[in-house]
Amino acid sequence: MSAQSQHTHTNSCHEVLAHLNDYIDGELAPELCEALEAHLEVCEDCRVVFDTLNKTLYLVHQLRNTSPQLPETVEYRLFAVLNLEQFVPKKPE
Amino acid sequence: MTGIEIDLDIYPDEASLLEALKRGEPEACACLVKQYAPRVYAIAIRMLNDPDDAEEVLQETFISACKNIHKFEGRSALGTWLHRIATNAALMHLRKRKHREVSLDEPIEMAGGEDIYREVEDGSLAPDDHAMNSEVRDMLEKAIAQLPETLRAVFILREIEGYSTEETANILGISVSATKVRLHRARLRLRELLAPYLA
């Protein structure tokens, strides 16, 4: 077993995980940022968590550009249920 | 914008739209729906992962909004108010669903003692563009759907809809600190779910 896989979560690792969100959101105090960054330099486990969390959020943010489309039929039924049929175009005879 | 065509320029700003809504002008209601329904539907479908339930939430949201528009005091943006109604309606649906949920993995026992398995319809989402690889998008949507409902609501509003922590707390009617805790858990949970694909 490598030294890396034997890594146990120390208090420092727990602190890093607890502060990770604030760090990612840019809301962590500067002195805590420095301590966190110093820890990430030496702790591969925490660095993996940090990297994969960043990748996860990067991918999730891409979903902002791919919103589920409102189907036309759903829109038509919504207008009907709100008694707004006058705005729904008539189907050609 | 596709579908029904509505002239959104009739009301140049939110204040004039609001006044017209309070006067009960049907054109204002049509504008409200045209402008906000796509995003409300997007929230509902991501929260519920089911097009039929999402449509119900969409209809409930706008029926409730039109009925209660006189109660809207303008302390938040109209969109935020609608998203609050939609999120609460979606959470109600999820709670109701919990009561009637039957495991999809359980076979249905037939009279002759034969077991048959349910065929599950793919409720995948229709994207409005193909910028993101559809496989990655499906994987993400499925992982988000696996988050517990309270974490999912915070996560969708904060990370996908782009609301701030304060706005998310306001929409859900919870404290900022509770929002932060839920967001933290949701992010780490999602990371765990996606970890095999991110290595």
Q: Report pLDDT for B100.
A: 67
Q: How confident is the model at residue B131 (pLDDT cuts 50, 70, 90)?
A: low
CA distance B122 to B51: 10
Helices and strands counted in chain A (H then E): 4, 0
Percent of chain B whose pLDDT exceeds 90: 64
Of A66, A71, A78, the CB nearest to B129: A66
Flag whether A4 is in a domain.
no
Among A54, A78, A81, A86, the strongest candidate for a mutation testing the B interface, having the largest count of B CBs within 10 A, is: A78
Q: How confident is the model at residue A11 (pLDDT cuts 50, 70, 90)?
A: low
CA distance B133 to A13: 34
Flag whether A93 is in a domain.
no
Are the beta carbons of A87 and B6 separated by less than 8 Å?
yes
pLDDT, average across residues A48-73: 90
Q: What is the DSSP string of chain B?
A: --SS---GGGS-SHHHHHHHHHTT-HHHHHHHHHHHHHHHHHHHHHHH--HHHHHHHHHHHHHHHHHSGGG--SSS-HHHHHHHHHHHHHHHHHHHHHHH---TTSPEEPTTS-EE-PPPP-----BS--SS-HHHHHHHHHHHHTS-HHHHHHHIIIIIS---HHHHHHHHT--HHHHHHHHHHHHHHHHHHHHHHH-
Q: How confident is the model at residue A6 (pLDDT cuts 50, 70, 90)?
A: very low
CA distance B80 to A12: 39
Report the gap between the CA of A73 and the closest CA in chain B (Å): 9
Q: Report pLDDT for B7.
A: 85
Q: Report pLDDT for A91.
A: 67
Provide the CATH topology of domain B134-194. Arc Repressor Mutant, subunit A (1.10.10)
User: For chain A, how long is the longest CA-to-CA vector?
Assistant: 76
pLDDT, average across residues A33-53: 93
Q: Report pLDDT for A65.
A: 81
| CB pairs A-B closer than 8 Å | 124
Beta-bridge mates of residue A68: B127
Report the gap between the CA of B191 and the closest CA in chain A (Å): 6
Q: How confident is the model at residue B110 (pLDDT cuts 50, 70, 90)?
A: very low
Q: Report pLDDT for B5.
A: 87
Q: Which chain B residue lies closest to A89 (C-alpha atoms)?
A: B4
Q: Report pLDDT for B122.
A: 39
Are the beta carbons of A49 and B191 separated by less than 8 Å?
yes
Residue B130 has pLDDT above 70, yes or no: no
Of B58, B160, B184, the CB nearest to A64: B160
Are the beta carbons of A65 and B131 separated by less than 8 Å?
yes
Contacts of B151 in chain A (CB under 8 A): none
Of A25, A52, A72, the CB nearest to B2: A72
Q: Report pLDDT for B1.
A: 59
Q: Report pLDDT for B163.
A: 93
Residue B90: alpha-carbon gap to chain centroid: 7
pLDDT, average across residues A30-50: 92
Q: What is the domain extent for residue A26?
A: 11-81
For chain A, give the number of residues: 93
Residue A51 has pLDDT above 70, yes or no: yes
Beta-bridge mates of residue B127: A68
pLDDT, average across residues B37-56: 94
Query: Is the minimum CB–CB distance between A77 and chain B shorter than 8 Å?
Result: yes
Interface of A with B in 41-70 (CB under 8 A): 49, 52-53, 55-57, 59-70
Nearest to A62 by CA among B123, B137, B128, B125: B137
Residue A90 has pLDDT above 70, yes or no: yes
| Tokens read off for B102 | 């039957």
Q: How confident is the model at residue B111 (pLDDT cuts 50, 70, 90)?
A: very low
Flag whether A43 is in a domain.
yes
Report the gap between the CA of B65 and the closest CA in chain A (Å): 11
Q: Report pLDDT for B198.
A: 79
pLDDT, average across residues B153-157: 96
8 A C-beta contact, residue B79 and residue B126? no
Domain boundaries, chain B: 7-100, 134-194
Report the gap between the CA of A59 and the closest CA in chain B (Å): 8
Contacts of B140 in chain A (CB under 8 A): 59-60, 63
Beta-bridge mates of residue B115: B109
8 A C-beta contact, residue B157 and residue B125? no
Q: Report the CATH number of the B7-100 domain.
A: 1.10.1740.10
The ipTM (two decimal places) reads 0.79
Flag whether A86 is in a domain.
no
Which one-letter amino acid corresponds to residue B12?
P
Q: Report pLDDT for B95.
A: 87
